[in-house]
Amino acid sequence: MAEVTLEDVNKVYSGNVVAVRDMNLDIQDGEFIVFVGPSGCGKSTALRMIAGLEDISSGKVFIGDNIVNDLQPRERDIAMVFQNYALYPHMNVRENMGFALKLRKMDKGEIDRRVNEAAKILSIERFLDRKPKALSGGQRQRVALGRAIVREPKAFLMDEPLSNLDAKLRVQMRTEIGKLHNRIGVTTIYVTHDQTEAMTMADRIVVLKDGIVQQIASPQQMYDTPKNIFVAGFIGSPAMNFIRAHLERENGGYVAAFGSTRIKLTREAIGEHPDVGEYVNREVIVGIRPEHIEDARLVEITSDSDCVQVTPQVIESMGSEKYVYFSVDRELAAHTKSMEDMTAVGADGGGSTDDFGDLMVARISPESTVREGEQVKMAVEASKIHLFDPETEQAIL
Amino acid sequence: MAASAGAGNATRGNAQGAAGAVGSGKGGSGGGTLSSALFYVFLFLFVLVSVAPLLWVFKMSIVQKSEVTATPPTILPQSFTGQSYSTIFSDASFQKALINSIIIAGVTTVVCLFFGAIAAYAIARLRFNFKNLVMTLILAISFFPAVAIIAPLFIQFRAIGLINTYWSAIIADTVFALPLTIWILVSFFKELPPDLEEAAKIDGATTLQAFRKVIVPLAAPGVFTTAILTFIFAWNEFLFAATFLYEESVQPVTVRIPNFATVYTVDYGAQAAAAVVVTVPLVILVLIFQRRIVSGLTAGAVKG
């Protein structure tokens, strides 16, 4: 077990294609870190540089106290789980799991002991004498994990290990990997494009886009205080709603105005972000999470101005909640570069499920009686809104 | 001989293609019976043309000497004798020639596979510029007419004392067989997922260990196919052997066969018997591994 540290790590391919730019990261011993981002964001490249499968163009990678830049993968004492399992087809499960130990010329009894123990943890004892092709996807993934566990390495690296599994198995294996990590506590770096996996498994999430780290934070922090529009839209499902608004001064406070809605910014929020004042009389982008919009009839409304009149177009009843999709005036719809990126992620089967294009979504109580096509008043929880600079896309508050 | 057997196989392959075409044409035309009859007629003709020389040689090897040279020649064998076969098998020089052939073809195969596998692995896996140019250059070697280099090679080999040793044939055969070996193996190696080697490297293997313990076992069918093709090539080689090996003790069968002649008469029957003995093992080899060989030749052509 060990810390893993990245210092100004860059990956530049010939032709000046930058895959990873100035990545800095301190991973604590035993931490579960998830790299998440849309495809092509450099997350896998970053992982492969740590593994030693890609050269590091510049910067330093430490595993424990050692700089590993010039070490071969086999000298780094790390184990990796691949997306397509990469089990050796000509070896049975036992040989697959013991391969690394055999290469290290470990005593045969010790190899058997470790393989059996790992097999027991993963409940694959029954399959030890089978070849990989006789196993199902989930079983193969367990073997791949087992091959990593027996090594007792300094760190586990996992490159989208669950994306070849079907949805149900993915959820199940997600929990198992979590349990496994709790049990053996090895530093783990996990790459995925699925924000749900990131949220559920990570101690800390690293969101990447275009090779640049957008934010490093715990899942809850990431969700509550995204640093920019990309992170805000990427993390959370359904994704955050974005609306163009005008920031105004009112009665010594600030309001974000759009249409007939005027959302008052709470004193607490402003206290932490004194530069809000700079945006007065300027355009801002308001971000509202779906669960912070509620059927106005079901909540106590402090002021009508916190409400939006909407006409639901589609209502999806999930049992425990209802998703209400509605559109806003065209001129209010916010479009930025990173939102387009996020839509692409949604189509990719990734985190945000914004299939409705310009539609906003509210996650409301199942008790609501809203109906499609009937205008209804929705209340926005003013203290929970986010503001972003439309130019830089950075969070204002 | 083996060449004609090979042609026979190729014809069958084409015929199967034709069968598919005929089959698909059936439904519309309604002339199913006629077209399928025609198909079998042509199929028979193709096979006959390809196999005829081999059958003729076989016939010559089992009839008596008088019938071999009879005018007009008999179509079906009229007389039977094992004389030709007993002649060649009692001939110590023929047995020696068989052994020479096995040694030359065998060593050529091993050398080709060793260098071919290493080169092919590098070409299949490493990223470097001008890869296609390298592959084309390798292929270009096999375009060289052997006759064009045989004189310089002879002089060189004589200078370093390789004439009348197995090595002269082995080296020359390797030069011409290696391109084929490399091309086939490259396509085989390319089909193996690179993740496996990466997994092996992370598991603690050196590049060579990853190659030996993961790649080679997985590419075994491909390596095996390549081995057979290379072996057949070296086994059938005549020109280099005839030029570099003029002492009887080192000559392979391809060179020995025409020498089944006494001072006064040519023993065509014995020559035919020798040809059959030399060809039959190859035909059997090809028939057994036909499917694998075809997949070896087309590997990488179509993504399965």
Residue bearing the bigger pLDDT, A139 or A252: A139
Stretch A299-313: mean pLDDT, rounded? 82
How many domains is chain B built from? 2
* CATH number of domain containing B267: 1.10.3720.10
Q: What is the pLDDT of residues A258-271, one digit of tens each?
A: 888 888 887 766 76
Shared-domain flag, residues B24 and B163: no
Q: What pLDDT score does B10 carry?
A: 39
Domain-embedded: residue B161: yes
- Quick check: helix, strand or coil at residue A10? strand
Residue A129 or residue A278, greater confidence:
A129
- For residue B33, name the pLDDT band (cuts at 50, 70, 90): confident
Residues B14 and B131 in one domain: no
The pLDDT score that the predictor gives to residue A167 is: 87
Q: What is the mean pLDDT of residues B225-253?
A: 90
- Quickly tell me which residue has 């390809």 as its tokens: B50
The answer to whether the Cβ–Cβ distance between B200 and A90 falls below 8 Å is no
Q: Specify the 3-state DSSP secondary structure of A187.
A: strand
Of A88, A89, A103, the CB nearest to B204: A103
For residue B73, give Cα distances in angstroms to A194, B32, B45, B57, B268: 80, 40, 21, 13, 14
Residue B36 included in any domain: yes
CA neighbor of A23 nearest in space, from A66, A77, A61: A61
Could you report the per-residue pLDDT of A117-131, keeping only the tens digit for each?
999 988 899 999 999
On chain B, the residues whose CB falls within 8 A of the CB of A106 are none
Does A283 or B302 have the greater pLDDT score? A283
Helix (H, G, I), strand (E, B) or coil at B74: coil
**Residues of chain B contacting residue A103, judged by C-beta atoms under 8 Å apart:** 203-205, 209
Largest CA distance in chain A: 78
| Residue A323 three-state SS | strand
Within a domain: B263: yes
Nearest chain B residue (CA) to A73? B202
Q: Identity (one letter) of the amino acid at B77?
A: P
Q: Which residues contact A92 (CB under 8 A, 6 or more apart)?
A: A128, A129, A130, A131
Same structural domain, B173 and B250: yes
Query: Would you say residue B77 lies in a domain?
Result: no
Same domain membership, residue B252 and residue B195: yes
Average pLDDT, chain B: 82
Please tell me the distance from the alpha carbon of residue B87 to that of residue B60, in angstroms, as a whole number: 14
Answer yes or no: do B37 and B170 share one domain. Answer: no
Euclidean distance between CA atoms A140 and A133, whole angstroms: 9
pLDDT at A309 over 80: yes
Q: Is residue B304 part of a domain?
A: no
Among A67-71, A175-179, A197-201, A297-301, the least confident range: A297-301
* Whether the model pTM is above 0.90: no
Q: Which chain B positions have a beta carbon within 8 Å of A100's beta carbon? A: 203-204
Identify whether residues B34 and B102 lie together within a single domain: no
Binary contact (B202, A99; C-beta < 8 A): no
Q: Which of A354-358, B45-49, B135-139 has the lowest mean pLDDT?
A: A354-358
A251 contacts: CB under 8 Å, gap ≥ 6: none
Please indicate, yes or no, whether residues B160 and B260 belong to a single structural domain of this protein: yes
> Are B139 and B204 found together in one domain?
yes
Contact call for B198 and A82, based on CB within 8 A:
yes
In single-letter form, the type of residue at position B80 comes to F
Residue B63 maps to a domain: no
Residue A158 in 3-state DSSP?
A: strand
In 3D space, the residue among B243, B245, B269 whose CA is nearest the CA of residue B91 turns out to be B269
Task: Check CB contact under 8 Å for B205 and A78.
Answer: no
Which residues 95-114 in chain A show a CB within 8 A of chain B? 99-100, 103-104
Assess A12–B contact: CB distance below 8 Å, yes or no.
Answer: no
Question: Tell me, what's the pLDDT at B148?
Answer: 87
Q: Which residues in chain A touch residue B199, judged by CB atoms under 8 angstroms apart?
A: 80, 82, 86-88, 147
Question: Is the residue at B78 inside a domain?
Answer: no
Confidence band (pLDDT; 50, 70, 90) for B264?
A: low
In a domain, B65, yes or no: no
pLDDT (mean) for B83-99:
87
pLDDT value at position B297? Answer: 60
pLDDT at B300 (0 to 100): 46
Show Cβ contacts of residue A302 under 8 Å, excluding neighbours closer than 6 positions: none
Domain housing B212:
84-299
The pLDDT of residue B7 is 39
- Give me the residue from A74, A84, A90 closest to B202, CB to CB: A74
Residues B105 and B24 in one domain: no
Instruction: Compute the CA torsion angle A92, A97, A99, A100 (nearest 10 deg).
Output: 170
Distance from CA of B225 to the nearest CA of A (A): 18
Name every residue in B having a CB less than 8 A away from some CB of A.
Answer: 193, 195-196, 198-206, 209, 213-214, 217-218
The Cα-based distances of B184 to A203, A362, B144, B172 in angstroms read: 49, 60, 19, 20
How many other C-beta atoms lie within 10 A of the C-beta of residue B112? 29
Same domain, B266 and B174: yes
pLDDT at residue B301 tops 80 = no
When the pLDDT of each residue in chain A is averaged and rounded to a whole number, the result is: 88
What does the pLDDT read at residue B298? Answer: 59
Does one domain contain both B180 and B289? yes
Same domain (yes/no): B95, B205: yes
Higher pLDDT, A376 or A305: A376
